[in-house]
Structure 1
Amino acid sequence: MADIGKPAAFDGIGRVRFGAGSLQRLSALLTLFALVIGFGLASSAFLSVNNGLTILLQTSVIGILGIGMTMVIITGGIDLSVGSVLALAGVISGFAVKAGLPVFPAMTLGMLAGAACGLFNGFVITRMRIPPFVATLGMMLIARGLALQLTGATPVSGLGRSFGMLGNGALFRVVEMQQSGFPRVIFPGIPYPAILLAVVAVLIAYILRRRRIGRHIYATGSNEEAARLSGVRTDHTKLYAYTMSGALAGIAGNVLMSRLVTAQPSEGVMYELDAIAAAVIGGASLSGGVGGVGGTLIGAFIIGILRNGLNMSGVSAFIQQIVIGFVVIGAVWIDQIRNRPS
C-alpha cells in the first residue's frame, strides 16, 4: 500500500526525494492532536463516537477536494474553480437522475463533467499559456454560471432516496426497532463519504508515489525546465493534474448533493479556499514540488475539527472563518521559512 503520510519533492534529476516539508507536516499533526485534546477537555460530547463520525462526514468533501488540489499545487499551479465545478457536477448528476438514468451512471456523468472542466483548465493553462490563477478563476465563473443557468438558480429536487444513499448511508449501521414502532440507532456506522475519502486517498497516494505520472508531477513543480530537459512532458503532466482535480471535484459534488438529496447550484461557494487551506496546512508548498496526500488529510481534519469544536462551543461562523484564516497564514509562513535559502 502506498505511504500516504510523507510529503515529497523532486531532486531535479529524475528522482523523488521523500521527507521534504516534514516540519510543517509534524506541526500540523501536533496541531491536530492539540485541537482534539483541547476540544475534548472543553466538552465531553466532542469525544463521543457520534461526534467523531460527524466530523468524518463533514470533512469528507473538503478532503476529496483537497487531494485534487494537492496534485495541482505540487505542479506549481492552483485551481480556484473546484467549488463551482462541484456545484455544476452535482447539478448534472441531478438532471441525469431526473431524466431517468440510474444513480450510479448519473453520478459518473457528473464526475466526467468535473473532469471535463479540469481538462479545459489544463488546456487553457498549457496551450494558451494563461496563468493558472486567471484560467481557473475564469472556470470558476463559467461553471457557476452554467449551474445557475441550467437550473434557473433553483434546486433540482425529487431525486429519490437512492440518490441520497451515498451521502447519508453508512457501513455497519445497526438499527433496532422499538416496541413503539420507531427505530433506535445503536451504532450509526461508518459514513460512506468517509470510506470514499479513504479510497480516493489511497488511490491518489499510489499514483503520486508509485506511478511515473506521480514522479512527473513532483518533477514539474520542483523545476519545470529541468524536468522538461529530463524528458518529462510537463504540459501533459499539468493537463493530467488539472483533469484529476476536476474529476475529484465532481466526486465531491456527488457526495455533497447526495447528502442534501437535492442538487443545489449555489453550493460549494468558498470551498476552493478550504481545499487550498487543507493542502497548505498539510505541507504542500505553493511554490510547487512539495506535498502529499497524508498531509492534506491532516489539514482537512484540522479544518473540520476546528469548525466542529467551535460550533459546539457556540462560536459564530464568522469567527470560525477568522480563526481558519489565521491558521492558513501560519501554515504559509512556515512554508516560507522552509523555502528560505540557508
Structure 2
Amino acid sequence: MMTAPKEPNSARLSDRQKDVIQKFAALGSLFVLIVVFSLTSNAFFTVNNGMTIALQVTSIALLGIGATCVIITGGIDLSVGSVLALAGVVAALLVKEAGFPVWLGMLGGILTGSLCGVVNGILITRMKLPPFIATLGMMLIARGVALQITGARAVSGLGESFGELGNGALLRIITVGDDGFPTVVFPGIPYPVILMVVIALAVSFMLNRSILGRHIYAVGSNVDAARLSGVNVTRVTSFTYILSGTLAGLTGCVLMSRLVTGQPNEGVMYELDAIASAVIGGTSLIGGVGTISGTAIGAFVIGILRNGLNMNGVSAFTQQIIIGLVILVTVWIDQLRNRR
C-alpha cells in the first residue's frame, strides 16, 4: 500500500516562520522609522515625546488587541470606533446626569462596549450574518445612538476627577522653582500606558498559555476541524467579539477621560487603525495566525509614523495617503505569504 510522501521540514515550519518573519520585519520598520525621524527632528528622540507617542498609541493598541483575537478566528470587527464613542458618552452621561461616581460611570461605559460585543456575537454565530455586515450595522447603530443620546453635542462639565484616568501618570516628578512655578522633571508613565501593557500581557498569556487561546487559533485555522475536535465554536467566536467590544468600551472611557469631555464624534476611522496594527504585526486576515506582541509593534509603527510626520510638517492629508499605502503593502505581503 502506497503512502503519501512526507511534507518537507521547511514546508512544515513555514506556518510558524511566516509569523516570526513578519513580526521582525515590522520591528525592523519600527527601528528604521525611529532612526529617520530622530535625524530629521531634534525633538523626536526625547523622553517627553516618547511618553506622548506611548500615550497616543494606547488607543490603537487596545483596539488592536481586540481586533487581533477577532481576526485570528477569521472574523472582522468594524464597529469598534463607534462603540468607543458610545461607551465614552454613556460614561460621561452617567457621571454628569445620573450623578454616578466616576469609577461606576466608566464601568457602565465599559459594559456598554461589552453589550455591543455580545450583540455582534449573536448576529454572527446565531443569526449567521457575515462578520463584515454584522459589525458594519453595529458601527452605524452605535454611532447613531451616541449622537442621539447627546443631541450631537459634547458632554462637558465632568470635573477634574473624570480626567484622572486619561491624564494621570505614575512616578511623575514635579519641582517648584524659586519663581514659584512648577517644573516637570519627569512626566511619569501615563496610566493609559500602564493599562495597555497589563492588558497586552494578559491577553497574550491567554492566547499562548490557555485552552481558550488554543481554541481561538483552532477556529481560525480550520473551523470544521475545530468543531469535530470538540471546540465550542459559537462560544469561542462570541468571546472574541465580546472582548473586542469590551476593549473598545475601555478605550472610549480612556479617551473621554483624556479630553474630560464626552465626544459622540470621537473614534471615526479608529477601526481601520486597529485592523492595520494587527496586520502590520503579522496577523493574517484569513485567520489562524497572529500575536499580541506583533500587534503592539504594528501600533507603534502607526503611532511613530504619525508623530514623526507631524514633527516634519507633513499635512494630515498626506499622512492619510502614506498610512493607506503602508496598509495596502502590508496586506499584499500577507496575501503573498498565504499563497506560498
State the TM bucket, normalised to the shorter chain. over 0.9
Letter paired with 2:130? P
- The 8 Å contact of residues 20 and 290 in structure 1, kept in 2 or not, is answered as no
- Asked whether 1:247 is paired with 2:214, we answer no
SS of the residue 1:44 aligns to: coil
CA drift at 1:235: 1.0
Whole-Å separation in 2 of the counterparts to 1:40 and 1:174? 26
**Count of equivalent residues:** 325
CA drift at 1:176: 1.1
- Asked whether 1:268 is paired with 2:267, we answer yes
CA drift at 1:178: 2.5
- The 8 Å contact of residues 21 and 338 in structure 1, kept in 2 or not, is answered as no
Whole-Å separation in 1 of the counterparts to 2:261 and 2:59? 16
Aligned to 2:62: 64
CA drift at 1:275: 0.3
- Asked whether 1:39 is paired with 2:5, we answer no
Aligned to 1:199: 198
- The 8 Å contact of residues 88 and 262 in structure 2, kept in 1 or not, is answered as yes
**Deviation >6 Å, runs of 4+:** none
1:81 paired residue among 72, 75, 79: 79
| Matched ranges for 1:123-138 at <5 A | 123-138=122-137
Aligned to 1:147: 146
Whole-Å separation in 2 of the counterparts to 1:102 and 1:183? 30
- The 8 Å contact of residues 278 and 296 in structure 1, kept in 2 or not, is answered as yes
CA drift at 1:329: 1.0
TM-score by length of 1: 0.93
- The 8 Å contact of residues 18 and 337 in structure 2, kept in 1 or not, is answered as no
Whole-Å separation in 2 of the counterparts to 1:20 and 1:122? 30
Unaligned runs of 5+ in 1: 1-16
Whole-Å separation in 2 of the counterparts to 1:48 and 1:22? 30
Letter paired with 1:147? A
Aligned to 2:19: 21
- The 8 Å contact of residues 22 and 282 in structure 2, kept in 1 or not, is answered as yes
SS of the residue 2:180 aligns to: coil
SS of the residue 1:186 aligns to: strand
Whole-Å separation in 2 of the counterparts to 1:277 and 1:136? 17
> Could you give the per-residue CA deviations for residues 59-90 of structure 1, whole angstroms, max 9, x where no partner exists?
00111000000000000000000000000000
Aligned to 1:211: 210
- Asked whether 1:323 is paired with 2:328, we answer no
Aligned to 1:8: none
Letter paired with 2:313? G
- The 8 Å contact of residues 73 and 285 in structure 1, kept in 2 or not, is answered as yes
Letter paired with 1:247? T
Taking only aligned residues, the RMSD between alpha carbons, in angstroms, comes to: 1.0
**Does 50-59 or 178-187 show the bigger shift?**
178-187
CA drift at 1:104: 1.2
Aligned to 2:50: 52
Whole-Å separation in 1 of the counterparts to 2:18 and 2:312? 36
Letter paired with 2:90? I
Whole-Å separation in 1 of the counterparts to 2:103 and 2:189? 20
Task: State, as a whole percentage, how many aligned pairs show the same letter.
Answer: 63
SS of the residue 1:54 aligns to: helix
CA drift at 1:271: 0.3
SS of the residue 2:156 aligns to: coil
SS of the residue 1:46 aligns to: coil
Letter paired with 1:96? L
TM-score by length of 2: 0.94
Whole-Å separation in 2 of the counterparts to 1:178 and 1:152? 46
- The 8 Å contact of residues 278 and 300 in structure 1, kept in 2 or not, is answered as yes
Aligned to 1:14: none
- The 8 Å contact of residues 57 and 191 in structure 1, kept in 2 or not, is answered as yes
SS of the residue 1:185 aligns to: strand
Letter paired with 1:109? G
Aligned to 2:338: 339
Whole-Å separation in 2 of the counterparts to 1:263 and 1:115? 19
CA drift at 1:18: 5.2
Whole-Å separation in 2 of the counterparts to 1:296 and 1:321? 20
Whole-Å separation in 2 of the counterparts to 1:215 and 1:265? 37
Aligned to 1:172: 171
Letter paired with 1:103? V
